[in-house]
């Protein structure tokens, strides 16, 4: 078949340098090259995004390929098809004529087909006496052969990109899961560390992750999570090693003590009775001697003013409901796990647990592991060895002592005037017994 090269489209459709480049590429298809049209079409689908082709355009290309009777395309064969718009619409899932024209233009722009328009814009073929096609006007499928190698390379690159994207997504998922669970483990096991700050750092990293992000962004976030994962892992492993070492030493000490033949401890009046007198019995007596009434909210706020920072600008804390809401905000900042908080609420009651948490928050600089500290207090509360009264009174007296010390040094109270006023108000509200003062002093020593 002899074909005349048509370089410009019919009608008002403009010509572009991209169309000329596509036509040149189609004319330069290597002779003797043979490709399987459906294999090439599969590669084109894989590389659709890189080529800039739409999914509807590929549906039209699929229809165009079906109009050519041969499955194998040759570099030196005629690859022009001339279906009407009605025929294309029938094979392209019934899309509208306007949609058909728009996506045909997309195929031309991507260089997947070349227009061979007739003088009047119609698509047809002129045949000779023997029935052989001499001239055809329609869509040239030569780029399928000419760019087959390029399409395959693009498809392989896209498959590699999809695999890399999937790998980094899996990496992100595992890193996020590991970090969250390791933080929870550190809090649950009482590992020393500022787990609240670690959790905030983790949230900051995750916060930079958009809903849909390219692989490069995911790689950067994954690298940051890997660094944080490594830091947490090192802390936990160091704690495990030190704990095992201490456990081994304790076992050795117990073995040495148990191997002694002397029975001074058993026969004397020493350790056993002393532990009972100064430990469970004494603590239980002190707790029973504490006031049975609930702590007023005003005294709790005087003792724990730091919790007010969490409700700044919202009207302050005016009721126990406001106080509980503020403590719920404080808890994750302190790195206390939900399970530790739930255990405390069950053992102490919701209000007493909230007061305990506020007191721990007030003494944050002195407590390395708030979660472990809360669990210890919870265990003591289960044995009736803990009350919030001495804890709050110790904080009140600490403010009073600080105010008195400042006044002795300077003769005046400036910066801590409000704190001193809170202490005076608190003393006026309470009648502190001698037993309670002794318990407060003991609490100060223990804390």
Point out the least confidently predicted range of 29-33, 72-76, 383-387, 436-440.
Answer: 436-440
The Cβ of residue 149 has, within 10 Å, a number of other Cβ atoms equal to 14
Q: 114-118, 332-336, 338-342, 417-421: which range is least confident on average? A: 417-421
Mean pLDDT, residues 423-428: 51
Higher pLDDT, 3 or 388: 388
- For 31-49, give the DSSP string: TT-EEEHHHHHHHHHHTHH
Is residue 303 within 8 Å of residue 356, measured between CB atoms? Answer: no
The residue-averaged pLDDT of 63-90 equals 87
DSSP annotation of 108 reads H
The answer to whether residue 324 scores a pLDDT higher than 60 is yes
User: Using one digit for the tens of pLDDT, what is the confidence trace for 284-306?
Assistant: 444 444 455 677 888 888 888 88
The predicted structure's pLDDT at residue 222: 93
The model's confidence at residue 434, banded by pLDDT at 50, 70 and 90, is: low
**pLDDT digits over 204-230, tens only?**
898 888 878 889 999 999 999 999 999
Q: pLDDT confidence of 58, banded at 50, 70, 90? A: very high
198 in Cβ contact with 232 (< 8 Å): yes
- What string of H, E and C letters represents the secondary structure of 52-93? CCCHHHHHHHHHHHHHCCCCEEECCCCCEECCCHHHHHHHCC
Q: How far is CA 146 from CA 26, 34, 36, 152, 263, in A?
A: 6, 10, 12, 12, 98
Q: What is the CA radius of gyration of the chain?
A: 40
Q: Are strands 34-36 and 80-81 parallel, antiparallel or unpaired?
A: unpaired
Sign of CA dihedral 16, 17, 21, 23: positive
pLDDT, averaged across the chain: 76
pLDDT at 410 over 70: no
Average pLDDT over residues 386-398: 83
Write down the residue that tokens 């110790």 correspond to. 394
Q: What percent of the chain has pLDDT over 90?
A: 22
What pTM value is reported for the model?
0.47
Distance of CA 416 to the CA centre of its chain: 42
Q: How confident is the model at residue 397 (pLDDT cuts 50, 70, 90)?
A: confident
Distance CA 414, CA 336 (A): 35
In whole angstroms, what is the distance from residue 351 CA to residue 357 CA? Answer: 10
Query: What was the pLDDT predicted at 7?
Result: 62
Contact between residue 145 and residue 75 where contact means Cβ atoms under 8 Å apart: yes
Q: What are the extents of the domains in the chain? A: 17-146, 161-244, 282-446
CA dist 156 and 160 (Å) reads 6
Separation of alpha carbons 439 and 430, rounded Å: 15
Residue 158: pLDDT band with limits 50, 70, 90: very high
């Amino acid at each position: 078949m002899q074909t005349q090269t048509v370089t410009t489209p019919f009608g008002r459709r403009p010509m572009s340098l991209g169309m000329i480049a596509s036509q040149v590429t189609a004319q330069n298809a290597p002779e003797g090259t043979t490709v399987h049209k459906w294999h090439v079409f599969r590669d084109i689908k894989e590389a659709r995004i890189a080529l800039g082709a739409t999914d509807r355009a590929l549906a039209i290309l699929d229809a165009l390929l079906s109009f050519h009777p041969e499955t194998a395309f040759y570099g030196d064969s005629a690859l022009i098809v001339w279906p009407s718009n009605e025929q294309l619409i029938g094979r392209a899932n019934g899309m509208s004529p306007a949609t058909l024209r728009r996506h045909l233009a997309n195929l031309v722009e991507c260089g997947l087909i070349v227009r061979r328009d007739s003088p009047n814009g119609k698509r047809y073929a002129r045949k000779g006496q023997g029935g052989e096609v001499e001239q055809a006007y329609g869509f040239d499928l030569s780029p399928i052969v000419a760019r087959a190698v390029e399409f395959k390379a693009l498809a392989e690159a896209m498959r590699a990109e999809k695999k890399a994207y999937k790998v980094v997504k899996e990496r992100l998922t595992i890193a996020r899961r590991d970090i969250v669970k390791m933080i929870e483990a550190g809090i649950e096991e009482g590992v020393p560390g500022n787990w609240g700050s670690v959790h905030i750092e983790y949230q900051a990293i995750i916060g930079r992750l958009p809903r849909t992000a390219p692989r490069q962004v995911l790689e950067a976030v994954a690298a940051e999570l890997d660094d944080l994962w490594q830091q947490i892992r090192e802390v936990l492993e160091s704690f495990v090693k030190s704990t095992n070492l201490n456990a081994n030493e304790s076992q050795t000490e117990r073995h040495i003590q148990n191997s002694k033949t002397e029975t001074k401890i058993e026969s004397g009046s020493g350790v056993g009775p002393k532990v009972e007198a100064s430990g469970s019995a004494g603590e239980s007596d002190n707790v029973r001697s504490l006031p049975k009434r609930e702590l007023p909210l005003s005294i709790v706020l005087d003792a724990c003013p730091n919790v007010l920072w969490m409700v700044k600008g919202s009207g302050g804390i005016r009721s126990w409901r406001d106080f509980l809401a503020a403590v719920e905000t404080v808890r994750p900042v302190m790195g206390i796990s939900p399970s530790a908080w739930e255990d405390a609420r069950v053992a102490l009651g919701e209000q007493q647990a909230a007061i305990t948490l506020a007191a721990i928050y007030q003494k944050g600089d002195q407590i390395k592991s708030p979660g472990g500290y809360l669990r210890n207090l919870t265990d003591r509360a289960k044995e009736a060895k803990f009350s919030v009264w001495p804890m709050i009174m110790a904080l009140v007296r600490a403010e009073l002592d600080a105010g008195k010390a400042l006044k002795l040094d300077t003769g005046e109270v400036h910066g801590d005037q409000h704190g001193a006023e809170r202490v005076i108000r608190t003393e006026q509200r309470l009648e502190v017994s001698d037993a309670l003062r002794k318990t407060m002093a003991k609490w100060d020593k223990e804390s």
